[in-house]
Amino acid sequence: MNAVSSLGALMLDIKGKSLTSIEKDLLQRDSTGGLILFSRNYESPSQLRELVASIRDIKRDILIAVDQEGGRVQRFREGFVRLPSLGSIGKLYSDKPQLAESLSKISAWIMASELISYDIDLSFAPVIDIQNMSSEVIGDRSFSSSPEVVVRLAKSYISGLREAGMSACGKHYPGHGTVHADSHFELPVDVRPWEEIRDSDFSIFAQLIEFLDGIMPAHVLYPSVDEFTAGFSEVWIKDKLRGELQFKGVVFSDDLTMAAAKAIPAPVDRAKRALAAGCDMVLVCNDQESAGEIANWLESESIVKNVNMQAVRAKPSRKIHNLFEQELWNSRVQTIRSYFED
């Protein structure tokens, strides 16, 4: 891919398996810097290649992302390697820690190598929340209920991403796993005192900060720290993440159309708040009208090239045109299948 210094601040989505004329127009906008793909955009490997090529034809340097975590959150399935959930890797840690670390690295390498071979830059991974099975949205998407185990397995996972040439984007800062509610459908509130959050969930991000190229804040309210949810909070992003932890990478908002984000009613006001809090790129999904409104506002304010995306752009470490014929690929896929496929 050609290197660019910066991209527009808006990441949007598309409705189907090919681009509509409206979507082509949106992708051409100066304010559009990213595109996230979902299961509805995928039919087959050949269709995905054609779709990504058509996107690149419109805007070569756009950042293309997906949630390809593994387990129940894997957007591309048929024709792709079935990836284990992070929680299933974490279950092996207590008895076989070295095996768990190895499988974490291999799983991440497979995921990243496969996506990069389709010219996709980034998976929003790993999930580094604390695992709490009462959480409706996190659960086995996270490695463990132990911060120490999360850190160890996340380091292995990130090393696998980097070996393939993909950056790591940790989510959901400063920790979504302890609250029961799902921020897609309601506003979760974490009532714990700051000291408790600092010593548990937040400590994971603190220990991994030097290994992360991107971070996605949670749409969770922590009233002991700030009146705004983390993704809208200058305290969480500017003061604690940028200031205290000295994070230099890219901050992506979580989707601004999620129910938890709608505590701020107007879509443009959500984007304003997220960017003012310190987010670099705002995600607007499943709402093309709102994406258009936010694009209009960004361009009216000349906020069209405000973030350097080179830190999270894919940098393939191997020749990938024949990835699926390579011995390393076949060996690692067989390893994952031997442990996690029935």
254 is catalytic: yes
228: left (phi over 0), alpha (psi -120 to 50) or beta: beta
pLDDT of residue 182: 73
Q: Domains (ranges, CATH) in the chain? A: 10-340 (3.20.20.300)
- List 13, 121, 140, 254, catalytic entry: 254
Q: Which of 340, 286, 220, 291 is nearest to 9 (CA)?
A: 291
The DSSP 8-state label assigned to residue 302 in this structure reads T
pLDDT of residue 308: 66
- List of residues 6+ apart from 139 with CB closer than 8 A: 87, 131, 132, 133
184 is catalytic: yes
pLDDT of residue 185: 80
pLDDT of residue 280: 94
Distance CA 219, CA 277 (A): 13
- List 61, 182, 184, 287, catalytic entry: 184
Beta strands in the chain (DSSP E): 10-12, 32-37, 63-66, 68-70, 73-74, 122-123, 169-173, 214-217, 250-251, 282-284
In the block, tokens 């894919």 appear at 314
pLDDT of residue 198: 97
pLDDT of residue 24: 97
Q: Enter the pTM of the model.
A: 0.94
pLDDT of residue 310: 78
Distance CA 215, CA 78 (A): 29
Distance CA 166, CA 156 (A): 14
* Binned average pLDDT, 10 residues per bin, the chain of 342 residues: 65 98 96 97 98 97 96 96 97 97 98 96 97 82 96 98 96 91 82 96 98 96 96 98 96 92 91 96 95 95 71 80 87 96 70
CB 93 within 8 A of CB 144: yes
Apex 129 CA angle, 96 and 205, nearest 5: 95
- List of residues 6+ apart from 259 with CB closer than 8 A: 183, 184, 185, 186, 187
pLDDT of residue 325: 85
- What b/e string do you get for 141-163 counting C-beta neighbours within 10 Å, with b at 16 or more? bbbbbbbebbbbbbbbbbbbbbb
Q: Which amino acid is at 91?
A: K
pLDDT of residue 146: 96
Q: Which of 35, 121, 111, 113 is nearest to 73 (CA)?
A: 111
Alpha carbon distances (Å) from 14 to 166, 255, 263, 265, 285:
23, 14, 25, 23, 8
CB 3 within 8 A of CB 27: no
In the block, tokens 């442990």 appear at 339
Give me 241's structure tokens.
């993440």
DSSP string spanning 145-188?
S-HHHHHHHHHHHHHHHHHHT---EEEEET--TT--S-TTTS--
Distance CA 48, CA 279 (A): 29
In the block, tokens 């708040």 appear at 273
Distance CA 140, CA 33 (A): 31
CB 5 within 8 A of CB 308: yes
